[in-house]
Structure 1
Amino acid sequence: MDKPNKTLMIQGTASDAGKSTIVAAICRILKRRRIKTAPFKPQNMALNSAVTPDGGEIGRAQAVQALAAGVELDVDFNPILLKPSSDTGAQVIIHGKAISQMQAQQYHDYKKVAMDAVLESHQRLKQKYQAIIVEGAGSPAEINLREGDIANMGFAEAADCPVILVADIDKGGVFAQLVGTLELLSESERNRVKGFIINKFRGDIKLLESGLTWLEHKTNKPVIGVLPYIQGLEIAAEDAITTEQVLDEVKFKVAVPVFPRISNHTDFDILRLHPSVELIYVGPEQTIPNVDLIILPGSKNVRADLAHMQKVGWDKSIAKHLRYGGKVFGICGGYQMLGIAINDPNGIEDVAGESQGLGYLPISTELTDNKALKHTQAQLHFSDECVELTGYEIHCGISTVTNTKVGRRLLTTNGADSGFINADDQVAGCYLHGIFDTPAVIPALAKWCGIALSQQVDYQSLQQQAIDKLADACEQHLDLNKLFKYINIS
Structure 2
Amino acid sequence: MRALMVQGTGSNVGKSLLVAGLCRVFARKGLMVRPFKPQNMSNNAAVTADGGEIGRAQALQARAAGVAPSVHMNPVLLKPQSETGSQVVVQGRVVGTARAREYQSWKPRLMEAVLDSFGRLSEEADLVLVEGAGSASEVNLRAGDIANMGFARAADVPVVLVGDIDRGGVIASLVGTKAVLDVADAAMIRGFIVNRFRGDPALFDSGMRFVSERTGWPALGLVPHFSDAARLPAEDGLGLRREGRRGSVVVAVPVTPWISNFDDLDPLREEPGVEVVLVEPGHPLPAEAALVVLPGSKTTIDDLMFIRVQGWDVDLKAHVRRGGRVLGLCGGYQMLGTRIDDPLGIEGEAGRSIAGLSLLDVTTTLTANKRLEAVAGTTLADGTPFSGYEMHIGETSGPDAFSRAFARLANGQPDGAVSADGRVTGTYVHGLFADDRQRARWLALLGAQTSDLAYEALVDDIIDRFADHLETHLDCERLFALSAR
The reply to whether TM is greater than 0.5 is yes
Q: 1:246 to 1:319 in 2, by over 3 A?
A: closer
8 Å contact 2:400–2:418 — kept in the other structure?
A: no
Partner of 2:477, secondary structure, is helix
2-side partners of 1:44 and 1:403: how far apart?
A: 38
1-side partners of 2:148 and 2:359: how far apart?
A: 46
1-side partners of 2:197 and 2:454: how far apart?
A: 30
The Cα shift of 1:242 comes to 3.6
Q: 1:42 to 1:404 in 2, by over 3 A?
A: closer
8 Å contact 1:51–1:58 — kept in the other structure?
A: yes
Corresponding residue for residue 357 of structure 1: 356
Q: Tell me if 1:33 matches 2:34.
A: no
2-side partners of 1:163 and 1:58: how far apart?
A: 23
2-side partners of 1:404 and 1:474: how far apart?
A: 49
The Cα shift of 1:351 comes to 2.1
Q: Tell me if 1:105 matches 2:101.
A: yes
1:470 aligned to which of 466, 472, 477: 466
8 Å contact 1:336–1:342 — kept in the other structure?
A: yes
The Cα shift of 1:246 comes to 5.6
Matches for 1:372-383 after TM superposition, within 5 Å: 372-381=371-380, 383=381
One-letter identity of the residue aligned with 1:446: L
Corresponding residue for residue 429 of structure 1: 426
Corresponding residue for residue 223 of structure 2: 227
One-letter identity of the residue aligned with 1:372: R
Deviations 1:52-83 (A, max 9, x none): 12210000000000000001111100000000
Corresponding residue for residue 369 of structure 1: 368
1:241 aligned to which of 235, 239, 250: 239
Q: 1:212 to 1:329 in 2, by over 3 A?
A: same
One-letter identity of the residue aligned with 2:307: M
Corresponding residue for residue 326 of structure 2: 328
Deviations 1:87-129 (A, max 9, x none): 1111100010001121222211111111110000011111111
1-side partners of 2:62 and 2:188: how far apart?
A: 26
Corresponding residue for residue 166 of structure 2: 170
2-side partners of 1:321 and 1:259: how far apart?
A: 18
Partner of 2:187, secondary structure, is helix
Corresponding residue for residue 88 of structure 2: 92
Corresponding residue for residue 311 of structure 1: 309
8 Å contact 2:244–2:276 — kept in the other structure?
A: no
2-side partners of 1:303 and 1:247: how far apart?
A: 32
Partner of 1:10, secondary structure, is strand
Higher alpha-carbon deviation: 43-52 or 343-352: 343-352
2-side partners of 1:461 and 1:92: how far apart?
A: 33
The Cα shift of 1:416 comes to 2.4
2-side partners of 1:296 and 1:213: how far apart?
A: 49
Corresponding residue for residue 293 of structure 1: 291
Higher alpha-carbon deviation: 224-233 or 328-337: 224-233
One-letter identity of the residue aligned with 1:17: V
1-side partners of 2:135 and 2:59: how far apart?
A: 22
Deviations 1:405-450 (A, max 9, x none): 7x5121011222211111011111100010111112222113333x
8 Å contact 1:85–1:350 — kept in the other structure?
A: no
Corresponding residue for residue 258 of structure 2: 261
Partner of 1:436, secondary structure, is helix
1:282 aligned to which of 279, 282, 288: 279
Deviations 1:152-191 (A, max 9, x none): 0000000011000000000111100101111111101111
2:479 aligned to which of 457, 465, 483: 483
2-side partners of 1:182 and 1:399: how far apart?
A: 53
2-side partners of 1:447 and 1:401: how far apart?
A: 28
1-side partners of 2:5 and 2:18: how far apart?
A: 11
1-side partners of 2:10 and 2:58: how far apart?
A: 19
Partner of 1:279, secondary structure, is strand
The Cα shift of 1:461 comes to 1.0
8 Å contact 1:297–1:332 — kept in the other structure?
A: yes
RMSD (Å) for aligned C-alpha atoms: 1.4
One-letter identity of the residue aligned with 1:284: P
Partner of 1:289, secondary structure, is coil
Higher alpha-carbon deviation: 456-465 or 92-101: 456-465
2-side partners of 1:426 and 1:168: how far apart?
A: 45
Tell me the number of residue pairs that the alignment of Structure 1 and Structure 2 aligns: 480
Partner of 2:232, secondary structure, is coil
Corresponding residue for residue 63 of structure 2: 67
8 Å contact 1:372–1:395 — kept in the other structure?
A: yes
Partner of 1:157, secondary structure, is helix
Q: 1:74 to 1:404 in 2, by over 3 A?
A: closer
Deviations 1:285-315 (A, max 9, x none): 2211120000101000000000000001000
TM-score, scaled to structure 1 = 0.96
Q: Tell me if 1:151 matches 2:150.
A: no
